[in-house]
Amino acid sequence: MSTPLLRSAILPHPLHVGRPNTGDRQRLQERIDALLDRNWLSNDGPLVREFEARVAAIAGTRHCVAMCNATVALEIATRAAGLTGEVIVPAYTFVATAHALQWQQLTPVFCDIDPVTHNIDPEQIARLITPRTSAIIGVHVWGRGCDTDALECIANKHGLILMYDAAHAFGCGHQNQPIGSFGLAEVFSFHATKFVNCAEGGAVVTNNDALADKMRLMRNFGFSGYDRVIYIGTNGKMSEFSAAVGLTSLDSMSDFIAVNYRNYQAYQQALADLPGITVQSYNESERQNYQYLVLDVDPAVCPLTRDQILQVLHAHHVLARRYFFPGVHRMEPYRAYYPNAYLLLPVTEDVVQRVIVMPTGTAVTPEMIAQIGDILRWAMTHSAELSEQLEARLAPGDAFDGFSLR
Ligand code: T4K
């Protein structure tokens, strides 16, 4: 008799990666009522200013320039900093890191990563530097700080600007320093999927006064006064509604971190005995937001493939994701521009086949995580029958967009 594809107990509701944390609704309602009473909805309003002050205090920087999202914040930050030609970025990141450059006709040059931290590997950078290189953008993947000392050393030696995409890393620390204060500037995302969110939002933090002034102008069309425009600018402003959501989220920031940390420990415990599956660990002596719960699936040890595990999880309502598959260098337009980029990216190519990001946050409880552990344990013990049945459903090379097995 063949093994049923579903274990009898499935999660009662789908568990998503990136489910927004909602703070105190009452407080949010009060903020929204107040902004409606003021009738000031955007353009450098008081809630945006308060949000900026609180973010700068957490990041340990003199300036925070709030924006409508992190992608536009990256565009404005890189433009204001005067990046030209080629910019070295990791291939293992969300596509926005590269798009923000390409959108401005800058050339992202993809660098390989460290297999353990998933961050840009400083040792691979030197061979990518050309006379056209103007900058390096490190990404603090999963909120884990890049090797900032090594990156700074390379940037100084070659006269390059160093900036960071810190989209994942708000509230995190590195070398006992808050993330936000490294390089010329760092960019946070406050998208709905981030542990502190504005629904849509981003910010650039920096200690550089001139850069901050320039970015403030650029996010507001370049207006320096009522009728005076002194730069080419865009509309990168954060609305008061977004700031109200962000401030309410900030109020509960430490509660969200505590829940994420509790879930991180619960996953470690629930999955500890599963062969070939490791919960990526964080350095607990550094401040972390634990927003990303990342599994590594070792194909040499695990009886199921990474994508088979995803199929089993999805069938049980656990909508885990395989970020950042298949690597930015394999997404358009980069795949067409640099079809051989993968040859220099062996670690990225491996990591994109191994990672699973699991649901966490306030919608997930330790009991649910224990159940996820049971589902995976069951799947491992029935791996032979499951593999056969799963293969019949997903031909090799098929796109896996998340589907149920029922
Ligand atoms: N740099 C890096 C390194 C980044 O990771 C990101 C964004 C950026 C730059 C750019 O930041 P922003 O411009 O977005 O501020 C999601 C987010 O949209 C994106 O912000 C985030 N990184 C990325 C890692 O994840 P997708 O394409 O995975 O989104 P989507 O629609 O598939 O949703 C993700 C999950 O969240 C799903 O499981 C559903 C759930 N979800 C989402 C939303 C919006 C909810 O449950 N409720 C919601 O309201 O990109």
What is the per-residue pLDDT for 287? 95
pLDDT at 2: 52
pLDDT, position 404? 45
Place of tokens 């000392």: 149
How far from 193 is each of 141, 168, 358, CA to CA, in Å? 15, 10, 13
3-state secondary structure 38-72: HCCCCCCCHHHHHHHHHHHHHHCCCEEEEECCHHH
Ligand 1 pocket test: pick from 22, 75, 94 the residue with the most ligand atoms within 8 Å of its Cβ: 94
Which of the listed CATH numbers 3.40.50.1820, 3.30.70.100, 2.40.50.140, 3.90.1150.10 matches domain 253-392? 3.90.1150.10
Per-residue confidence (pLDDT) for residue 392, from 0 to 100: 63
CA 23 – CA 288 distance, rounded (Å)? 19
Nearest to 72 by CA among 260, 253, 198, 157: 198
Instruction: Check residue 396 and give its pLDDT.
Output: 47
The answer to whether residues 168 and 277 touch, using CB atoms and an 8 Å cutoff, is no
For the CA of 199, the nearest atom of ligand 1 = 49
189 C-alpha to ligand 1 centroid (Å): 10
Whole-number pLDDT of residue 94: 98
Distance 18 CA to ligand 1 centre (A): 7
- What pLDDT is recorded for position 7? 65
What residues flank ligand 1, with Cβ below 6 Å? 16-20, 69-71, 93-94, 96-97, 139, 165, 167-168, 189, 191-193, 202, 319, 323
**How high is the pLDDT of residue 6?**
64
Which pLDDT does position 406 carry in this prediction?
A: 37
User: Is domain 25-251 classified as CATH 3.40.640.10?
Assistant: yes
4-20 per-residue burial string, b: 16 or more CB within 10 A, e: under 16 = ebebeebbeeebbbbbb
In this prediction the pTM is: 0.95
Q: Are strands 86-90 and 107-111 parallel, antiparallel or unpaired?
A: parallel
pLDDT for 1 equals 46
What pLDDT shows up at residue 403? 45
Q: How far is the CA of 2 from the centre of ligand 1 (A)?
A: 38
Distance of CA 319 to CAs 82, 157, 159, 164, 167, Å? 41, 45, 44, 29, 22
CA–CA gap between residue 238 and residue 406 (Å, rounded): 43
Beta-bridge partner residues of 164: 138, 186
Burial class (CB in 10 A: 0-12, 13-18, 19+), 267: buried
**What residues have CB less than 8 Å from 381, skipping those under 6 apart?**
none
Start and end residues for every CATH 3.40.640.10 domain found in the chain: 25-251
- pLDDT value of position 113: 98
Where are the domain boundaries for CATH 3.90.1150.10 in the chain?
253-392
Q: Look at residues 269, 394, 357, 390 and name the one whose alpha carbon lies nearest to residue 16.
A: 357
How far is Cα 71 from Cα 165, in angstroms, rounded to an integer?
A: 10
| Residues of the chain predicted below pLDDT 70 | 1-9, 391-406
Q: Which two tokens stand for residue 259?
A: 């829940």
